[in-house]
Structure 1
Amino acid sequence: MKSHSGTPIISVRWKKGRLVGQKAPLKLREIWAIRIRLRLAGKVRDLALFNLVIDSKLRGCDLVSLRDCDIAQGKSIFARAVVMQRKTHRPVQFEITEQTRQSVAS
């Protein structure tokens, strides 16, 4: 195959040599290591988002579209929350752990 300028196009396979598909879940030890590193680095926002991901198992697009009113009222953070998924349009109910409530509150 040649391009418009006459030079040959090199065909490269998509994702050749890379792992594709579903990845293995994080192990509990890895989750705690990430939490500790975020806490030591002072990344409060990233720690709160990471804890919310672990609690809710939401997709990234749904997580970043969360508002304060979805998980809190005033200064109190809900013990449970319900979020409508953007892709499936189904509600997802999840429990917000005490550790997550503390990281979101700070």
Structure 2
Amino acid sequence: MEGAITASHLSTRQYSRVVERRVSSIGLDPKRYDTHSMRRTKAAHIYKKTGNLRAVQLLLGHKKLESTIQYLGIEVDDALAISEQVEL
């Protein structure tokens, strides 16, 4: 079966090709939708919906909260204030 995804792990390049094919198949420009932009968009949506910066940090695999703040492009003071309000 061509294009089937098996239960084994995909390499970064394989995953990129899957995303490129899927994006193209729905008529979007694959140059505008890569794996990194999709990762960033999902993280931003989770943060906007929940305000839970720590959860986003865990999902992204960042060791430092400051890295997540920078990745999302939010103001440090705002992010830290929100983070202090959320307990995990």
Provide TM-score, normalisation by structure 1: 0.27
Q: Which has the higher contact order (CA 8 A, sep 6+)?
A: 1
Higher-Rg member (1/2): 1
Provide TM-score, normalisation by structure 2: 0.30
Structure number with higher strand proportion: 1
